[in-house]
Amino acid sequence: MIKSVLIYEFVQKAVSAIAPNRCPFCRNVIPSGKYYCERCYEFLPFIKEELLPIENVSRRIACCFYRRRARKAVLWLKYGCMVYPVETFAFMISEKLSGIQADYIIPVPSSRKSIKSRGFAAGELIGKRVSMRTGIPMLKAVGAVNDKIDQKTLNSEERLLNAESSFFLKSGFDVRNKKIILIDDVSTTGATLSAIAGILIRAGADEVIAAFFAKTINYREMKLSGKKYRLRS
């Protein structure tokens, strides 16, 4: 695992000679091998403690609240066709997962429509990098139905109902007696994570942990950060 990371970082340095490495939070050029600039890191809305567990998910591990610079980085990844935030998200998630053992990493899948419009599946890209850094193998074991409705257009109750009918376990994948880590870029209500974890639990998985870069604001959970943030971005 360490060797693969070193090789990958060497390749990244070589690439940076052609395409400069940039901070995903401000897009300023930064040295190769760095994942953010010091100023941005200082002002990131970190989540310092684990979030409360939800149905089917024993632990939720997140890096930042979906605010300010963290929000910009997610939007640049999703809608700006800028994939360099993937490296930073994966690095920060891997740091959070330090010491946690699991059998598989499974990325939250994107619909075909989303992949077609963006050119990539964010969860899968992040999952591959986290797998490389942690040494935990990644399985693309969960699929999304073709007519999956975008969660951002729905309220909390609708999100849960939509999520439960939007995903499925692909044939040929055995998760019985396995500990799984679900990987994604951002989580809102947790409905998607809960629904996918439910599928895996019913298929025999022992435990499902969710790890993602950003969590949308919930004032009860926000107290865990130890800081207060103004509503204006």
For the beta carbon of residue 199, count every other beta carbon within 10 angstroms: 18
Task: List the CATH code of the domain at 47-225.
Answer: 3.40.50.2020
Nearest-angstrom CA–CA distance, 66 and 79: 15
pLDDT one digit per residue (tens) for the chain, 233 residues: 655 555 555 545 544 545 688 999 999 999 888 999 999 999 999 998 889 999 999 999 999 999 999 999 999 998 876 778 999 999 999 999 999 999 999 999 987 777 777 777 889 999 999 999 999 999 999 999 876 555 566 556 666 666 777 899 999 999 999 999 999 999 988 999 999 999 999 999 999 999 999 999 876 655 555 554 443 33
What's the first-to-final CA gap in the chain, in angstroms? 39
pTM over 0.85: no
- From residue 26, alpha-carbon distances to 85, 147, 157, 216 in Å are 11, 35, 35, 20
